[in-house]
Amino acid sequence: MLKYVIFDLDDTLLDFSRGEHEGLTYMLKKYGLTDIQHGLQVYQTHNHWVWTQIEQGADPQPLLNQRFAIAFKQLGLTVNGPALQREYNTILAHNFYTIPGATQLLTDLQAAGLTLLVGTNGVKTTQLSRIQGSGLAPYFQQVFISADLGVAKPDPRFFDAIFKQNPAMTAENTVMVGDNLASDIYGATQAHLKNIWYNPQQLPNPKPYQPTATVTNYQQLEHDLLH
């Protein structure tokens, strides 16, 4: 019987993409770039590489501190990488956008007696600020953040830390819900944990592993979790 649900945050419950786009657009304009779309593409390409390295076990802080310096250099701009990273963290910390329907989903799951937890990669202060500011904090009994644990999804040790603090949690009564195949689904698979891929864009799965289940909206997700 299902008792625990571990939720990813970004683009699973919180609309990270919207906040990221707004924050990056602001910063690119501030530092004098005129072709914003090109700037976003260059940053996103490098940022994807950065998070791939982090998910493979690299030390996150040096990569995050230099991602703006490297991306902006490709755009012909010289900036202070760590300073821009701090500025960007401040902007992201005030990204309180939730995906429509997220609050109702959590309300229903909590009312059904499920214990809800957060399991997210990211910067601790930023993620905690967003959970609080979005109004989602009361739904979660515990919050686990990679920067605090010292290890990021998909490393099985991320999930080991969650289980260690919840002795009643088992592979049979717990499920991981997330939008990211590489971190959420692969991480849960490595931890021998049931998982649900939240895939609203109905993207193909190019990976050699398969999620336990796939949903494209919150109605499907709620049905799978409660039945």
Is 8 an annotated catalytic residue?
yes
CA distances 117 to 16, 120, 139, 145, 206, Å, are: 18, 10, 8, 11, 28
Q: State the Cα–Cα distance between residues 8 and 11, nearest whole angstrom.
A: 8
Q: State the Cα–Cα distance between residues 74 and 28, nearest whole angstrom.
A: 13
- Strand partners for 119: 144
Is 10 an annotated catalytic residue?
yes
- Strand partners for 175: 5, 194
Q: What is the dihedral of CA 190, 130, 86, 143, to 10 degrees?
A: -40
| Widest Cα–Cα separation across the chain | 56
User: To 5 degrees, how large is the angle CA 121–CA 110–CA 116?
Assistant: 25
Helix (H) or strand (E) holding 124: helix 124-133
Q: Which of 8, 15, 155, 179 is catalytic?
A: 8
Catalytic positions, written as ranges: 8, 10
